[in-house]
Amino acid sequence: MNSPLNVFSQVNLLPQLCSQIFSQFASHWLKVTPSAFTRGAKGLNSGLRTDLKKFNVVNRHKNTDGKPGHVHLIGSGPGDAELLTVKAYRLLQSVDVVMYDWLVNPEILDMIPPHVERRFVGKKCGEHSMTQIEISELLVSVAKEGKTIARLKGGDPAIFARAAEECDLLTRNHIPFSIVPGITAASGASAYAGIPLTHRDCAQSVRFITAHLKDPALQPDWQSLVTGAMPDAQGKNAETLVFYMGLRRIESIMQQLQAHGLPMDMPVAIIDKATSTQQQVCIGQVKNIAQRIHSRHFTGPALIIVGEVVSKRQKVVSYHQQDGLQCTAHNELSNAATNFAG
């Protein structure tokens, strides 16, 4: 008859056992993930969640020792649910609370397990469910309860998403946190619209500018922006300008660029609801883009790209259709010459 297993005598085997369990999970995950990706966001959600449950890596973090919980500031990407990172997905399965913004795709919210608490803390121009300081204080309050939190933001949390303000209050209250990057709107919008942000022939750098400043009386350094966007004598070495949250200020932005010397025929693109199934693109020039946008039903969020890279836009949008994106801008591509001349 076998003697009872002495657990304490087997402690030295724990590292080896953990290694074997992790290896088994990793091996299986790598086998199922490609097929999950081909089934789209829902397939990815189902496949990964099944694997996480099967190997029991979805651990609930219940602090009973008085220590604060951990806050993960997570970027959900620019819109398309399949652009969510694997790390972001994994964390959403393991937290106690998800606090999310209005820009987060509902398909991503569907990936959150039913037992995880959800709190909407979204705000946009003129519509705030909470102020920024209230959101930051709520993060601290819930974390002090010992709960692990996913602070889910659109795009990348470190780019015009006010992550620094939330991190500041967390730091002052000794709350541990991490920042999980996401695909920022500029990257997603340019890729899905077929516009390169840089190009060896005309743009060696790119600058991100917010059109929504904390103090409305403040203004960007327009002269610096225009100087950077101007090509050299060979028509090269210019800088692409990307304005976030600028749809309502499009006329003012174009007027300022013209007033500070940017050529009136500089190409401009406005991408509305980038990477989503409602994505639309309007192409024009500094002199006429504000008028062109009036005939479109753009509601935002929208991104403005200014620079010669817009004229390098790919003339084929079949890859959008393959991804199920109804990009209406392809109608304009067929008469691109008319757009830029108009």
| pTM for the whole structure | 0.76
CATH number at residue 143: 3.40.1010.10
The pLDDT tens digits for 291-306 are 999 888 899 899 999 9
Residue 4 DSSP code: P
Contact (Cβ atoms closer than 8 angstroms) between residue 73 and residue 155: no
Domain tally, the chain: 2
Average pLDDT, the chain: 81
Same domain for 179 and 190: no
Helix extents (H) in 145-288:
163-172, 185-193, 222-229, 250-259
Same domain for 192 and 169: no
Exposed/middle/buried for residue 171 (C-beta within 10 Å: 0-12, 13-18, 19+): exposed
Bond from prior residue into 301 cis (ω within 30 degrees of 0): yes
The pLDDT tens digits for 311-334 are 998 654 544 444 444 444 434 443
Same domain for 264 and 223: yes
Torsion of CA 96, 98, 99, 102, to 10 degrees: -170
pLDDT at 62: 52
pLDDT at 4: 47
Beta-bridge mates of residue 119:
99
Token pair recorded at residue 9: 């005598």
Same domain for 154 and 84: yes
* Residues ≥6 apart with Cβ < 8 Å to 61: 69, 70, 94, 95, 96, 146, 147, 148
Catalytic residue numbers, as ranges = 101, 123
| Residue keyed to tokens 């299986």 | 28
Domain that includes residue 237, residue range: 186-341
Q: Which of the residue ranges 37-41, 88-92, 232-236, 246-250 would you say has the lowest mean pLDDT?
A: 37-41
